[in-house]
Amino acid sequence: MTAYVAPNAKRDSPDSALRRFRQKVVRNIYWGATIGSVVLAAVQGWIGHHGLAGLLGVASILFIWAALQSRHRLLPQKYHAVFVIVTCIAVNYSIIENGIKGLYWAYPVMSSLFFLFNRRLTLIVIPVVYGSFVVSSYLALSFTHSWRFAVSLAMILVLGGTFIVLLQRLQKSMTELVVTDPLTGLYNRNRVTQTLIENIQQKERYKRPASLIMIDLDHFKSLNDEHGHLFGDQMLKQTAKRLLGAIRATDTLFRVGGEEFLVVLPNTSSQDANVAAKKLIKVIGSRPFEGKGATVFITASAGVSELQPGQAWSQWLSRADQALFEAKNNGRNNVVLQSDTTSDAGNPSNKDD
């Protein structure tokens, strides 16, 4: 048995990675809009369109501020709404003032909208912006040009929407791959931190208890040495199946190490979790495991930890790990509650099986 170390909560969560990606895309959009606005403001001022130049100058200042703010956080949707309003006014002004030349700027503005808003707001914002551009084109241009512009812009929206939907599905699939153990199909350690934090929030808000059960298969290294790692993999898959069949629908099961499993039990006190842990240990050890070429009995040890007020997820997890360490020291094939352990400090490490 080796002490379990959870991934960093801020850096390793798949959801955090997706937020960072979106934050970077949004920041680049604002910097791109800043550069474009500054250049266009200079050009419009040079050719005598001072009203449009002033509007673009104000927009540049707003975009710089938004780009700097997005370095540290994902901006709220209301800030993106300001971006849309300013750019929409500027593009419509340009269409009215410059005619067909103003149409060119509608395409990058429309494309950026897919990345700024959630799906519900995107479905509201895009038709409004699209409609304003089309109306301006009909007012400023001949019908021959305006209908072609309307159709081409609509095609961009269809292609952009298709791309975003596919990207979202790909992100969802990749997230599932990141948080799923390929051998057992259980959640892996990449999902642990998020689940623990969610249970801590539930306790803080609703005063509901929550407990952990850390399970380690006894003498699993010896089993691997005797029968081979492929046989060991079969045992791990069968263990996962037995545990899944024994926990509640509200519980979450993880494989967090080679032969270590973690069960998160919401709305569960340490006493109830202790009963559940004994049941799980019995499920594992009460009947033989059938593998290719051999039939073996496997036992397991478990540590139970209930979430305490003000406790961080790492402390909560450490207590379960310590309880498991004590169960191993007490002869294995048993359950130890966190209250039976002696200290919160430190983690057990590098103890064989």
Report whether 126 contacts 159 (CB < 8 A).
no
CB atoms within 10 A of CB 115: 16
Nearest alpha carbon to residue 200 among 318, 317, 311, 274:
311
Cα 281 from Cα 303, distance rounded (Å): 11
Please give the structure tokens belonging to residue 325.
């360490």
Strands 294-296 and 289-291 turn out to be: antiparallel
Cα 43 from Cα 94, distance rounded (Å): 12
Q: Does residue 137 come out as left (phi exceeding 0), alpha (psi in the -120 to 50 range) or beta?
A: alpha
Catalytic residue, from 97, 176, 226, 259: name it: 259
259: annotated active-site residue: yes
Mind spelling out the 3-state secondary structure of 195-240? HHHHHHHHHHHHCCCEEEEEEEECCHHHHHHHHCHHHHHHHHHHHH
Cα 60 from Cα 277, distance rounded (Å): 61
Strands 335-337 and 300-306 turn out to be: parallel
Cα 82 from Cα 79, distance rounded (Å): 5
Catalytic residues: 259
